[in-house]
Structure 1
């Protein structure tokens, strides 16, 4: 079982000093995929980096600028291109002259269909000034940040490690309040599991997700996070032992304990798991593999 951490006090627009080198300002965009809202992190003093400035919200921009008054923003770091993370980067750059760093998505996935969006949406215009798709490092007075590519949630997801505090800004890759949605074709379960293993091997002291409180028991949390993904995959295999099935029929059974508003997202993550299992040779599609396809166990 995942030892979720969900206890966080949020005052929108307030700047909170959460560690010696880190401040956080939370945007007023709570929701089923953003929890209490987007936590924008400010790293350093005097010359600072801003991580995930968040949604296109003038009030949040004003709060960030107030938090760094008298300082110089030199770097804007983006974990990925979803619209609760990256859209404000352009306005923040215009106000500060900072350089935007991140990874542009290779292709634009088709927007999710259905009554509920899988995410807050996609920032299709996101283009960083400097690409960190292959990793890299940036620094300022008293701080050094390493970009660690972590594809899975999206193909262009990046986590950022702060050397001086042995911590990781984990974006949506690892969150304390919820599991991460994997939405094919841009999201990939195999990539996600490999990225989790990569982060686990680094033994960070603290994870700072973009949504929700920090994760302090990092190794145990990632181990449980990974075990949960494998258990979900095993649930699918056990469900198909009774005969072929479709995702739309399996989700209400396997996600009965999840808010039904999130079932469309669960359907996408289940598709990611099924595609992963198909690649492992454990499941085959009776017709072409897709969201509406019927699947069975491989012979």
Structure 2
């Protein structure tokens, strides 16, 4: 099943997009100017409600983005600062926004993998004022969000369902422009694929991702993401059936020609698949060689 990625997002950096009213709740989007191979055109920040507003994913430490948020919120009060996960393109901006507004921060918890254990790319300074577990809720004037713990891309990753509105903020678990990187040990492929299956069964008609344009028909898209991951895993098992191989040797065999900037991330995702297969008794590391072999 091919994935119908949305590669066009005409929203200018720093501009405010009126997404509409959903279940009576006004939603707006502002994109940070932090483009890159893993952030597409930049990180999306969402404004939920009006008058007293929740801000979801304030983005990186970026003075221009913080100024754009202040301008968009002129005359309004920030009541909550929500963080989907603690990668450095999503949560560091919460500190400046909290200092300016006094609003509490909410998220699953601090980053769960320390730097020395492979927790690179993370905002280790962030700890939410209020922790939200799976199924936890937060409400403001005219809106209510339910948190869905969806680890895989990041161990503390949350999606948020806007209750009664048919909208789910899917952050980096489901993005409209690309697949997500799953990098062990903080990233977990089994958890990621289980999260995709969970989100594909959701009733919402619109996903609002952490990067890229709004995603209509999200169930079909999410099922395609899951099928893609399963196909990658099947190809990996077929490659291992031909004999042991290292991750570095497997990347070009399974991915073909890649932008060199994406090769390390592809290797991390393959490692995540291998660790999933190892847990299932279907692959094993070859001691001392760095290679992996079929098992079972």
TM bracket (short chain)? over 0.9
Specify whether residues 38 and 124 from structure 1 end up closer, same or farther in structure 2 by C-alpha distance, changes over 3 A only. Answer: same
Q: What residue is the counterpart of 1:115 in the other structure?
A: none
SS in structure 1 of the partner of residue 216 of structure 2:
coil
Find the aligned partners of 1:205 and 1:257 in 2 and give their Cα distance. Answer: 35
What is the TM-score with the length of structure 2 in the denominator?
0.94
Q: What residue is the counterpart of 1:172 in the other structure?
A: 172
Find the aligned partners of 1:280 and 1:271 in 2 and give their Cα distance. Answer: 14
Find the aligned partners of 1:42 and 1:196 in 2 and give their Cα distance. Answer: 25
Find the aligned partners of 2:173 and 2:259 in 1 and give their Cα distance. Answer: 21
Q: Deviations over 1:39-64 (max 9, x none)?
A: 10001111111000001011111100
Find the aligned partners of 1:236 and 1:149 in 2 and give their Cα distance. Answer: 28
Find the aligned partners of 1:211 and 1:111 in 2 and give their Cα distance. Answer: 27
SS in structure 1 of the partner of residue 133 of structure 2:
coil
8 A contact 2:202–2:219 mirrored in 1: no
Q: Deviations over 1:88-136 (max 9, x none)?
A: 1010011111110002223324476xxxxx98x2111010000013441
1:86 maps to which of 65, 87, 91: 91
Q: What residue is the counterpart of 2:210 in the other structure?
A: 210
Q: What residue is the counterpart of 1:144 in the other structure?
A: 144
**Pair 1:38 & 2:6 matched:** no
Q: What residue is the counterpart of 1:238 in the other structure?
A: 238
Find the aligned partners of 1:110 and 1:10 in 2 and give their Cα distance. Answer: 38
Q: What residue is the counterpart of 2:20 in the other structure?
A: 19
Q: What residue is the counterpart of 2:126 in the other structure?
A: 126
Unaligned 5+ runs, structure 2: none
Q: What residue is the counterpart of 1:105 in the other structure?
A: 111
8 A contact 2:47–2:56 mirrored in 1: yes
Q: What residue is the counterpart of 1:294 in the other structure?
A: 291
Find the aligned partners of 2:215 and 2:4 in 1 and give their Cα distance. Answer: 10
Please state how far the C-alpha of 1:15 moved relative to its aligned partner.
1.1
8 A contact 2:113–2:185 mirrored in 1: no
Unaligned 5+ runs, structure 1: 113-117
Please state how far the C-alpha of 1:6 moved relative to its aligned partner.
1.8
What is the TM-score with the length of structure 1 in the denominator?
0.93
8 A contact 1:133–1:156 mirrored in 2: no
Matched residue pairs, number?
290
Q: What residue is the counterpart of 1:51 in the other structure?
A: 56
SS in structure 2 of the partner of residue 284 of structure 1:
strand
Aligned Cα root-mean-square deviation (Å): 1.6
Q: Deviations over 1:57-102 (max 9, x none)?
A: 1111110011011111101100100110000101001111111000
